[in-house]
Amino acid sequence: MARSISIKKQPKKKIVKKARKSTKVAKKRTTVQKKSKTASSKKRTSSKKKSSTKRTPSKKRTSSKKVTKKTPSKKRATKKSLSKKKTSTKTKKATKKRSTSTKKKNAKKTTALKKKATALKKKAVALKKKAALKKKAIAVKKKATALKKKAALKKKAIALKKKAVAAKKKAMKAKKAKRTSVRGSRRQVFLGFRQKCKNTGHKKEALLKNNRGRIVSKIAHKAGQEAYQRNNLGDWVSAMLQARENLNCKGFVPCKKGEHLYIETMKIYKSVEASDAESHVSDSEEMEVEEEAELSSSEPQEVVVV
């Protein structure tokens, strides 16, 4: 950044040189004007002296030479002096105008140069500020990168610690023998995850999955089937379904005493029971006849000897 600032300072020297040159030119012009003024003032004094040393008509020279009339020469001299005076005044005015114009121009140039110098100074200050800001930004970026690196290292350290803890846990688990509970739920035992049930102690061989998807013991399943047959629950269910069809029942309808559904089901159930009893009696009679026939066939025939 120091090089860039030195490059920017170069125009200042040029501006100062220009200002010095302009001041030198102004001094030269002022000296020339002073010389011209002094010359003009000398000419005026010489012309005044000549005009003061004119001969008067009363005084006469006593000389051997002839006196000649010089009237026209005097007129010419006066005309010349007047013309000289006019020219001197004109030159004075012109010099004054020139001097004022040159002063104004020089003042304008100096003001412009000063403005340029101030602008360049401001630019240099701005560049310095920018350079300082850039340095600050670079420092901040470096700090941010360092912090990021630190955060990454911390994350890596945490990950390594977690891995070490996990490895330790695995090692401890490998050292300790796994204690798996033998008892569990019926489903766990049925699927093979446990050996015995918690409460009953049934094994997988004594369990069964019913039609509803529940896991039940085989003994309880058989007992339920037997109770279903012993209490004729099948006849009751079929009677209720027939009664619902006869009464055109839809959805849930409670089967309570005194209601149409209960009365209809009882009628059907009783008729079914009577038919079943008759069939059971006929079956028993047939069984008895068969048993008698078997007994008669098994008995030995008596042989009559004549």
Which residues make beta-bridge pairs with 184?
Answer: 197
Mean pLDDT across 114-124: 89
**Whole-prediction pTM value?**
0.34
Average pLDDT along the chain: 77
Both tokens assigned to 184: 């569990």
So what's the pLDDT on residue 65? 46
Residue 9 has pLDDT above 70, yes or no: no
In this structure, how many other beta carbons lie within 10 angstroms of the beta carbon of residue 189? 25
19 and 113 Cβ atoms separated by less than 8 Å:
yes
Tell the residue number behind the tokens 């028993």, with chain if given: 284
Rounded to whole angstroms, the Cα distance separating 7 from 98 reads 39
Q: Where do runs of H (alpha helix) occur along the chain?
A: 2-52, 71-175, 186-191, 218-230, 233-247, 260-298
Give backbone dihedrals phi and psi of 196, rounded to 5 degrees, phi first. Answer: -135, 160
Sign of CA dihedral 131, 136, 141, 145: positive
So what's the pLDDT on residue 1? 42
Rounded to whole angstroms, the Cα distance separating 106 from 25 reads 9
Residue 221 has pLDDT above 80, yes or no: yes
- In tens, the pLDDT along 234-256 reads 999 999 999 999 999 999 999 99
Rounded to whole angstroms, the Cα distance separating 122 from 119 reads 5
So what's the pLDDT on residue 66? 47
Q: How confident is the model at residue 188 (pLDDT cuts 50, 70, 90)?
A: very high
Mean pLDDT check: name the lowest of 40-49, 52-61, 229-238.
Answer: 52-61
Residue 265 has pLDDT above 70, yes or no: yes
233 and 208 Cβ atoms separated by less than 8 Å:
no
Rounded to whole angstroms, the Cα distance separating 238 from 268 reads 9
CA distances for 140 relative to 129, 131, 137, angstroms: 16, 14, 5
Residue 76 has pLDDT above 70, yes or no: no
Mean pLDDT across 213-237: 92
Mean pLDDT across 156-169: 90
Rounded to whole angstroms, the Cα distance separating 209 from 220 reads 12
So what's the pLDDT on residue 222? 94
Mean pLDDT across 272-286: 76
Rounded to whole angstroms, the Cα distance separating 237 from 28 reads 141
Mean pLDDT across 253-263: 92
Q: How confident is the model at residue 45 (pLDDT cuts 50, 70, 90)?
A: low
Q: How confident is the model at residue 196 (pLDDT cuts 50, 70, 90)?
A: very high
Using alpha carbons, select from 10, 16, 8, 15 the residue that is nearest to residue 128: 8
Q: How many residues comprise the chain?
A: 306
Q: Is residue 211 packed enough to be buried (19+ CB in 10 Å), middle (13-18) or exposed (0-12)?
A: exposed
CA distances for 106 relative to 30, 127, 157, 170, 297, angstroms: 12, 31, 75, 95, 167
36 and 99 Cβ atoms separated by less than 8 Å:
no
DSSP-derived secondary structure letter, 180: -
Q: Map out the domains of the chain as residue ranges.
A: 2-41+84-169, 180-231, 232-288
Give backbone dihedrals phi and psi of 148, rounded to 5 degrees, phi first. Answer: -60, -45
Give backbone dihedrals phi and psi of 40, rounded to 5 degrees, phi first. Answer: -65, -40
